[in-house]
Structure 1
């Protein structure tokens, strides 16, 4: 995912008239998620940090719901479950769409947190019927392709966040990097060259906001 916007993310403002996110010389189209030249004066108001700018953009009107993938083990530890729940809620708070494998463990905890925060999590289940999804998945999609659905999650997401995990999570992270996705790691997620290990959910949100708004180099 590429765009013409670049830089450190400073100077972001939301134009109330056009409902576009602006920075000096550029405007972001909320549907194509691409920056284009705009030399009109910036609107009055304070500069917004990337996370605040993303929230404001979603509050202003429709934004293309390119999903962020949350991945992790079905047999999750209590700590992984806690972090995944917080992550799911944070994704909803940012206005982003959550996508996961739709099963148990980290996936269920992330879906529960997301749903409780007002999100509608999507689950790409490996099974042949939609009702194999965990009860917090709002949009269950049966793939019938087993573990191969990991490729679909990696390809469909603009970024992946791993909370712990084993070989299955490792494969999703590797596919994500192969597809030039932003891959973030929390807790004891597998160490993969190219993946960025984050200290907490707050750092994940900052990196997701920057990537979604095309403010980083990716």
Structure 2
């Protein structure tokens, strides 16, 4: 499947005779011949979020360990940076570890992060969270993160991350795994943040998943 973007007329098509409706994020039959430039799913996502007038407003969640390795912390920060640069809002648990690293990446990318805290006060958030939301409901907020997200990227993690992955899959949310995240049937393992971004782009555009490493 090849994506074709007509920037002048705001049309994203494919080579199978379908047009992407940005308002509903559905592919519709289209009798007009596809015109424009070939684009990757990531380039199409960037267009959707920055130029279509109908961006996805639902956040992408990034979850993971509170005690990351250096590799996991770097992956989280890069993931946040990539999501922000492509116009996606990031949802996380708002505290330390992977959550802080991803929010730092979002801040560096000029994006928006939402921290859904288990605590009763917003001061518990890490310093990079744009919007701290103090739920006061403890670990039950894991289910809220999974429910509120369009899709989830997990980086490392233990039982808390595993519960969020399980909730997300139960709710029908796509889950992408990085850097030692718990393996769960139905979740897709990715080799690096760039591959995770491509999988998110495919999920947003409702394209088939690409082969993952």
What is the TM-score of this pair, normalised by structure 1? 0.89
Match of 1:16 among 5, 8, 30: 8
Q: Residues of 2 paired with 1:104 and 1:136: CA distance?
A: 10
Q: What's the Cα RMSD here?
A: 1.6
1:122-150 deviations in Å (ceiling 9; x for gaps): 11111112222111111111111110010
Match for residue 51 of structure 2? 60
Match of 1:30 among 6, 22, 27: 22
* Count of aligned pairs: 207
Match for residue 4 of structure 1? none
Say whether residues 1:78 and 2:80 are aligned partners: no
Match for residue 142 of structure 1? 134
Shift in CA distance, 81/71, structure 1 to aligned 2, threshold 3 Å: same
Gap runs ≥5 in structure 1? 1-7
Match of 2:185 among 171, 177, 193: 193
Match for residue 40 of structure 1? 32
Contact 1:13 1:47 in 2 (8 A): yes
SS of structure 1 residue aligned to 2:183: coil
Q: Residues of 1 paired with 2:52 and 2:198: CA distance?
A: 21
What is the TM-score of this pair, normalised by structure 2? 0.91
Say whether residues 1:111 and 2:103 are aligned partners: yes
Gap runs ≥5 in structure 2? none
Shift in CA distance, 11/76, structure 1 to aligned 2, threshold 3 Å: closer
Q: Which of the pair has the greater relative contact order for Cα pairs under 8 Å at 6+ separation?
A: 1
Q: Residues of 1 paired with 2:87 and 2:177: CA distance?
A: 21
Q: Residues of 2 paired with 1:12 and 1:46: CA distance?
A: 5
Deviation at 1:15, TM superposition (A): 4.1
Q: Residues of 1 paired with 2:182 and 2:203: CA distance?
A: 22
